[in-house]
Structure 1
Amino acid sequence: MSFPDLTPELSAAMPELRGRLIANQGLAELTWFRVGGPAQMLFTPADEDDLAYFLANLPAEIPVTVIGLGSNLIVRDGGVPGVVVRLGRGFSEITVEDGYRLRAGTAVPDVKLARAAAEAGIDGLAFYRGIPGGLGGALRMNAGAHGGETKDTLIEARGVDRAGRVRVFTNADFGFSYRHSQAPADVIFTAALFQGRPGETAAILAEMDRITSAREASQPIREKTGGSTFKNPPGQKAWQLIDAAGCRGLALGGAQMSTMHCNFLINTGGATAADIEGLGEEVRRRVKDHSGVELEWEIKRIGLPV
């Protein structure tokens, strides 16, 4: 499927744009599942000013979708209409600041933030080693692992809203809860400031190694997967509910619930996005029938079906 090319219209309306605009860019290669259709327009801004200029001049009727590293994402097979924004090199800097703080662009992978903190002798951020994503997604969904959550470390974040205005949000502004924030949906976060505490580099790196070993032992991290598929219901574990409903190893087309960790969907090699999402919905149905619990997706799903 392909969409009408918006490049001439947008280029004419934004003569000072410095970022890259690509029409009908395939998105499958940008996601860990390696499935899905194209973006009508993929925009990679040069920096925050470029992003603000783009959004301020983008016609209001054109929808905007943001993606990060694609680790927790299903792009449906019909693709994504409008503009897909993906932050790149201009949002990948990390700066160590006084008071055991780090400021980082939101295109920075979580693991890279953890390593930068360790090398600076800043403790409290090692848990990011266990999160397969980028900081933009971590802010949006209060990502956490191994006893830590984004809400525990964030001081403030910068972002650009749909009107092109640069805004600053404090930790309290996010209204963080389990795997969720109440930040405005139209804001594209560009940078964040994190608070750590004094630590010893060797000890922090050892903790990161422990997290790595735990992940490798319990999760199918070498497969085409999207991380945890469903959120843990209050007081329960999603994987236990899935296992009890007989869904470990359940398959649909080229998609399968991992036999190693049954809250992980995997693409076994020839899956479509419809296979993966359809299997997830079938698991939700079986769990609801078995236990009465309605699982909530943790993986983000965007775009149109074929």
Structure 2
Amino acid sequence: MTFPDITPELKAAMPGLRGRLLANQSLAELTWFRVGGPAQVLFTPADEDDLAYFLKHLRRGLPVIVVGVGSNLIVRDGGIPGVVIRLSPRGFGDVRADGDIVSAGAAALDKRVAETAAAANISGLEFYFGIPGTIGGALRMNGGANGSETRDVLIEATGIGRDGTRHTFTNADMKFVYRGSGVDPSIIFTSARFRGAIAAPEAIRARMNEVQNHRETAQPIREKTGGSTFQNPPGHSAWKLIDAAGCRGLRVGGAQVSEMHCNFLINTGAATGHDIETLGETVRARVKENSGIELHWEIKRIGIPA
């Protein structure tokens, strides 16, 4: 599918823009599943000021979606109308440690934040070592693993509103819930500050090794996957419900429920976004029929069908 090219209109309205605008840019290679259609416009801002300038001058009503490294994302095959914004590591990827505080841009990899904290003998952020996403996604989804979550360590986050205004959010302002936050979805997070605790470096490294070993032995991390597919229902493990419903190894087209971990879907090589989403919905239906429990997607699904 090809969308009308609106980049000339955007450039004319924003002569001071420094970031990059690309029309009908394929998004498949930007996601871990390696599926999906194009973005009508893909915008990569130069820095926070450039992002604010862009949003301030953007035509009202034009859809805007933000993506990170695409590790927990299905892009539908018809692509995404409007603007997709992707923050670059160059403009939004800086990570620094000072005392027991770690500051990070929204495009910084969670793993790099954990490594920076460890190098400064800061504990409490080891769980990020096992999350294959960015800080922006962790803020939006209250990213967590191995018994810890973003809300356990966040001091404050900053973001840009749809009108180009800069906002600061305390931990309480974020209104964190399990795998989510209550901040206006139109806010684009740009940075955050976290507080850990000074600890012995060997203890921190031991914890990070535990996190890594868990991922390597229990999850299909070398496949084309999207991480945990469904949220754990209260009092239950999603993978156990999926397994009990007979879905281990289930296939739809080129998509398959992982044999290693039932809460992971994988692209076996030729899957489409439709295959993966249909497989997920099939799993949800079988779990509901078997246990009466409704699974909710943790993976974000964006775009339109082919």
How far apart, CA to CA, are the structure 1 residues paired with 2:176 and 2:51? 25
2: distance between equivalents of 1:236 and 1:209? 26
Q: Which whole-Å CA distance do the structure 1 matches of 2:290 and 2:4 have between them?
A: 45
Give the Cα–Cα distance (whole angstroms) in 1 for the partners of residues 111 and 193 of structure 2.
Answer: 16
Structure 1 residue 172, shift from structure 2 partner: 0.2
Aligned position for 2:142: 142
Q: Secondary structure at the match of 1:228?
A: coil
Letter in 1 for 2:96: T
The equivalent residue for 2:160 is 160
Deviation at 1:266, TM superposition (A): 0.3
2:268 is the counterpart of 1:292: no
1:304 aligns to what SS in structure 2? coil
Unaligned runs of 5+ in 2: none
Q: Which whole-Å CA distance do the structure 1 matches of 2:103 and 2:173 have between them?
A: 18
In the aligned structure 2, how far is the partner of 1:137 from the partner of 1:210?
A: 23
Matched, 1:266 2:266: yes
Q: Cα RMSD over matched residues?
A: 0.6
Please list the CA deviations of residues 150-207 of structure 1 after superposition, one character each: whole Å capped at 9, or x if unmatched.
0000000000010100000000011111111101110000000000001122321221
Question: Aligned equivalents of 2:65 and 2:201: distance in 1?
Answer: 38
Rounded to whole Å, the distance in 2 between the matches of 1:286 and 1:192 is: 40
For structure 1, the residue ranges without an aligned partner over 5 or more in a row are none
CA positional deviation for 1:107: 0.2
Alignment of 1:206-221 (within 5 A): 206-221=206-221
Give 2:98's aligned residue.
97
Q: How does 1:1-306 map to 2 (within 5 A)?
A: 1-88=1-88, 89-98=90-99, 100-306=100-306
Q: TM-score, normalised by structure 1?
A: 0.99
Distance 2:48 2:202 in 1: 35
The aligned length equals 305
Whole-angstrom CA distance in 2 between matches of 1:193 and 1:20: 27
Distance in 2 separating the partners of 1:144 and 1:61: 33
Q: For 1:95, give the aligned amino acid.
A: R
Please list the CA deviations of residues 58-97 of structure 1 after superposition, one character each: whole Å capped at 9, or x if unmatched. 0002100000010000000000000000000100001212
- Counterpart amino acid of residue 40 in structure 1: Q
Higher alpha-carbon deviation: 197-206 or 62-71: 197-206
SS across alignment from 1:21: strand
Question: Matched residues in 2 for 1:59 and 1:279: separation?
Answer: 37
Structure 2 Cα separation of the partners of residues 85 and 226 of structure 1: 20
CA–CA distance in 2 between the matches of 1:32 and 1:227? 9
Letter paired with 1:94: V
Q: Percent identity among equivalent residues?
A: 65
Write the distance in 1 (CA, Å) between the matches of 2:38 and 2:202.
44
Q: Distance in 1 between matches of 2:129 and 2:269?
A: 27
> Following the alignment from structure 2 to structure 1, what is the Cα–Cα distance between the partners of residues 200 and 165?
40
CA distance in structure 2 between the partners assigned to 1:206 and 1:294 by the alignment? 37
Could you tell me how far 1:210 is from its partner in structure 2? 1.5
